[in-house]
Amino acid sequence: MALATRTDRRPSMTRTIWDSSVGKKTVMAVSGLIMLLYLVVHMLGNLKIFFGSGEFNHYAHWLRTIGEPFLHYEWALWIIRVVLLAAVVAHATSAYQLSRRDIKARPSKYVHKRPRASYATRTMRWGGIILGLFIVWHILDLTTGTVHPGFESGRPYQNVVDTFSTWYGNVIYIVAMLALGLHTRHGFWSAAQTLGVGSRTRDRILKTIANVLALVLTVGFISVPVGVMTGLVS
Within 10 angstroms of residue 61's Cβ, the number of other Cβ atoms is 11
Which class is domain 22-103+116-230?
mainly alpha
> What does pTM read for this prediction?
0.86
Contact of 40 with 54, CB cutoff 8 Å: no
DSSP conformational letter for 214: H
106 φ/ψ angles, rounded to the nearest 5 degrees: -130, 70
Work out the angle between the directed axes of helices 156-163 and 203-229 (0-180°, nearest 10).
90
| Cα 27 to chain centroid, rounded | 14
pLDDT in tens, the chain (234 residues): 455 555 567 778 777 877 788 888 999 999 999 999 999 999 999 999 999 999 999 999 999 999 999 999 999 999 999 999 999 999 999 988 888 887 777 655 554 455 555 555 567 778 888 999 999 999 999 999 999 988 999 899 999 999 999 999 999 999 999 999 999 999 998 898 888 887 778 888 999 999 999 999 999 999 999 999 999 998
Runs of H (alpha helix) within the chain: 13-19, 21-46, 53-65, 75-105, 119-122, 124-142, 156-163, 167-194, 203-229
Rounded distance, CA 120 to CA 181, Å? 9
Alpha-carbon separation of residue 40 from 20, 144, 153, 192 (angstroms): 31, 23, 25, 17
Q: Domain spans of the chain? A: 22-103+116-230
Cis ω before 69 (30° cut-off from 0): yes
Tell me what pLDDT residue 1 has.
47
Alpha-carbon separation of residue 84 from 32, 78, 163 (angstroms): 10, 10, 24
Q: How many residues does the chain have?
A: 234
Within 10 angstroms of residue 55's Cβ, the number of other Cβ atoms is 13
Burial class (CB in 10 A: 0-12, 13-18, 19+), 112: exposed
